[in-house]
Amino acid sequence: MTASTVQTGSRPVGSPDTFRLLATETKEMSDDRDCQLPVWAHRLRKSQIERLYKSCGKGRLDEELIDDVGFSLYARCTSMLQVSEAIRGRPPCPNCGATAQFHEGPTAFAKCRDCGWTCPWALYKKTYQRKGLFAGGMESFVRDFVQKFAAARSHRERLVLIDTLIHRFHWESGDHAGGRPGASSLIEGKMKDIMAFLDRLSYGDDIPPEVAHTREEWRRKWRGNPWSSGRGQGS
């Protein structure tokens, strides 16, 4: 079979019609700076987390606070998973939520088959760069959180899920050698400030024992990691 006999539907790939279509789309998009862009969830504020731990340490679980932090984390995690998919060439369409297609070329672009949304790739890419949205070694933990959080039967369970996630490290999944704490993708601020913040979070006496145990483990892992002595701390 030669290239000219390969069929897509009823039309051979690379027919003059196809080229004309692509040329028009590319031109339109390079002129269009107003295309609809995805909006990603921000990292959480430290004050949000601080309030949660303070309140939970007093022996009562503040359900509203747990949900406030939990659903903010849920939104952030969903954005991280979507960005990871976009990096793999499967960007979510910001208009209808379907998976759009990435088209390579001198002016790469994304296009959604379901609703017709299009966007130059350079603009799409800019929306997620340098925002800590690449899940990396955190991906399996982030996915686990998204799957379990909404389905958790109790707020105590939700608190433990939040606590477990923010105390993860990228290297723990075994895929990434870097010692970056997962919290740097989830909580705003520089890494060294985030680590100091988590380290001095006051828990109170009535925190669930799993939470206290997680912090002890987290401290042990961090002390044993070369990043704790300064590597990458400025980022």
Among 122, 102, 126, which Cα is nearest to 112's? Answer: 102
Return d(Cα 100, Cα 103) in angstroms, integer.
10
- 127 interacts with Zn ion by CB under 5 A: no
Count of all residues that appear for the chain in the document: 235
Between residue 157 and residue 216, which ones bind Zn ion under the rule CB under 5 A? none
Considering beta carbons, is residue 83 or 93 the nearer one to Zn ion? 93
**Least Cβ distance, residue 79 to Zn ion (angstroms):** 17
Q: Quick check: 225 binds Zn ion (CB under 5 A)?
A: no
In whole angstroms, the minimum distance from the beta carbon of 207 to Zn ion comes to: 44
Within residues 91-110, the interface with Zn ion by CB under 5 A covers 93, 95-96, 98
> What is the spatial distance between Cα 91 and Cα 83, in angstroms, rounded to a whole number?
7
Amino acid (1-letter code) at residue 178? G
Contacts of 93-102 with CB under 8 Å at 24 or more apart are 93/117, 94/36, 94/37, 94/38, 94/39, 95/36
114 is a site residue for Zn ion (CB under 5 A) = yes
Nearest to 78 by CA among 31, 20, 128: 128
Measured CA to CA, the distance from residue 235 to residue 189 in angstroms comes to 9
Answer for the pair 87, 97: CB distance below 8 angstroms, yes or no: no
Part of the chain binding Zn ion (CB under 5 A), chosen from 28-36, 87-95, 151-159, 182-190: 87-95
Tell me which stretch binds Zn ion (CB under 5 A): 1-9, 71-79, 111-119, 134-142: 111-119
CB nearer Zn ion, residue 127 or residue 173: 127
Selected from 117, 134, 203, 222, the binder of Zn ion by CB under 5 A is 117
Give how many residues touch Zn ion by CB under 5 A: 8
Least distance CB 97 / Zn ion (angstroms): 7
Q: How far is the CB of 220 from Zn ion (least distance, A)?
A: 46
Q: In a 3-state reduction of DSSP, which class is residue 23? A: helix
Q: Return residues touching Zn ion (CB under 5 A).
A: 93, 95-96, 98, 112, 114-115, 117
